[in-house]
Structures are given as C-alpha cells and as structure tokens.
Structure 1
C-alpha cells in the first residue's frame, strides 16, 4: 500500500506545485474546496484554521497552506493579505507602490497545515529575495514575476526547480520528513 495525501486548495497552480514536489513518493490527490479564511497576521494560525475546517468537512488526512508575501520597505505589507492585494491591485499595483524605494528586499513565508484524526500540525518555510521593477518570466503564478531570487524571478524558474527551492518547497520538506516518519501507510490511506 502506498502513502497518499490530499491537498485542499482552490488554487490549481498550488496543487500542481505540491504534486511536482512529491513526485512519485506519495499518491497525491487534489480537492478544490472553498474555505473561509480567518483574518490574522499569523499565517500559521490561518493555515491551522483552514486545516480544521477542511478536515471537519472531508474527514480524511489532508494538507492546506497559507502564504504571506512581506516587503521590508512596506513594513511587511501585504503579509498574510497577499492574495487579496494581488486580486485587487495586482503586481502592477505593488510595483507602483514600490516606486522610489531603494530597499527592495522581500520574503515569502508558507505555512503547511496537516490534519488527521490525531490533530493539526503546522510546518513553515521561507525564501528571501527582492521585488524587481518590471515583471519577468512566464512560469509560476501570483507574485512570481516580480520576486527575484539569485538573479531570476520565480516566474523564470521551471516548476521542477521552483519545487526544490521555494518557500512552499521548504515548508513541504519539513512536513514530508515528519510525515514519512510519523504516519504509516494505513493511517494515510484516503480510501479507508
């Protein structure tokens, strides 16, 4: 019996990225479920509550995630409100706000929350980079075209490479190590 895991997200790009990260090591399922999102400055708390909601509806072992995008010169804005800001003003709006700021440092933080009948467990990962002045690249989604790491935006990096270095990948690495050690095959079988 192979290990299996369900990711709950309405974002198909996130599901693709997570599936690419796990490759063949875990049988991966994706369920799109609209989850009410708690408003908080703490992404781990947001992820925990999303996992609680999803588990109470689906009754199977699952993961959810939440990501913040924090720009140093803007005192961490948009932080955990990144999705809302992207939806309302987009990358063009962020770049407009950033005009004239010499400090372009920013970071992404992702919290992965795993829920099963034993509880909810949260794992985090972060990547640092800079907000550039013009979007570049065709890969990825969200802020990827304006966030540069080591000379390339996340939108210029192929999915396989991004799945190894991103904030989400770092959180997933910590989660995977814990999951493989602490959950046996029968516990994670979604067909039970």
Structure 2
C-alpha cells in the first residue's frame, strides 16, 4: 500500500514515514503547494486534500497542525506556521510572561481525498504546557516550548521516536493509517 503526502515540511515527512512503516504503508512525498484557506484546521486539511487530489488525479493526504494556548484564547492556532516564522519561540515566551495558566494543546488534522470523493478527516490532540524557556534540540518549531502531560521533558528534548509515540501528528496519522488499511483490505 502507498499513500502520497502533500507537504513542503521535511520534518512532517520523516515523522509520517516512521509511523507508516508500522502499517506497511509506503509514503510518497510531493511538495505541491496548495492554497491554505483561512479557517479551522479541518477546513484547511479538507480544502488542501480536495485541491491536491483533483490537481494530481490521485489519492492524497495533507496534514495541518497548530499549537493552541488556552491563556491566549487558542493563539497561535491555525496561524502557528506564520507566527513561528514571524515571532518565533521567543515571541511566544514574551506573550506568556507572567501568565500562570500555561495549558496548551497541539492539534493535528490529516485530510485524505481522492479525485472523486469528499475528504475524510482524522484528528489528533495532545495536551501539555508551555515551558518558561526553550529546552531541547530535537523536533522543530514549538517543540522546545511544549511539555506534554505526564512528561518532564519537552518535545524538543525527546527523541523523534519517543515524540512519535505520543504526538498529535502520530495520533492523526495513525487514525488515518488504521482507516486506510481497513479500506484497502476490504477492496481486495
């Protein structure tokens, strides 16, 4: 079985390959830009999957993720990538200065579509807290700021293998992989 992942983010590709190998799903990667509409993560994933599937004429997955900080009313949320490139982690830490409620969630939505079907959506969520300083050199983006619940280390301090065991992206990709494997097996 194979699936084509539409993304320009090599970190996401590496995480997905590590997860899909447990399901005997071969991951192909294409960096096809697609318009990212404004809206919720599910809106972005649905639109991206539908757009890419029709443009390429084949089944695809896209993934959109964001960091949602409760004290900042869900910011940066769907703007996580833009905020990361403009404010960065230091900017988030400045916004969180003197904030006691540091609860946050990483959310990931995988959208799957074929040229002739409406998108299927798979959500993954991991709760945790924003640290007071960056810790760790692993991962990417907000990983050095996010300490998942029940852990004393940030995503940035965990190996990619350990992060993949509990990450929001693992959850959404694994939900997709289970569904996809079941669909393919029922077709055969």
Deviations 1:73-120 (A, max 9, x none): 111111111111111100000001100001111001111001113331
Matched, 1:180 2:178: no
Deviation at 1:184, TM superposition (A): 4.2
Aligned counterparts of 1:22 and 1:176: Cα–Cα separation in 2: 7
In 1, Cα distance between the equivalents of 2:113 and 2:162? Answer: 28
Let me know the Cα RMSD of the aligned residues: 1.5
Residue in structure 1 matched with residue 96 of structure 2 by the alignment: 98
Query: Does the 8 Å contact 1:21/1:160 carry over to 2?
Result: no
Query: Unpaired segments of 5 or more residues in structure 1?
Result: 188-192
Q: Trace 1:28-47 onto structure 2 (pairs within 5 A).
A: 28-40=27-39, 42-47=40-45
Which SS does the other structure have where 1:136 is aligned?
coil
Residue aligning to 2:159: 158
Alpha-carbon deviations, 1:112-171, whole Å to 9, x = none? Answer: 001113331001010000000111111111100100111111111111121221001111
Aligned equivalents of 1:12 and 1:108: distance in 2? 19
In 2, Cα distance between equivalents of 1:140 and 1:153: 10
TM-score (norm 2): 0.93
Judged with a 3 Å threshold, the aligned counterparts in structure 2 of structure 1 residues 29 and 185 are, in CA distance, closer, same or farther, namely farther
Query: Which stretch has the larger CA shift, 113-122 or 72-81?
Result: 113-122
Say which of 54, 60, 63 aligns to 1:62.
Answer: 60
State the TM-score, normalized to the length of structure 1.
Answer: 0.91
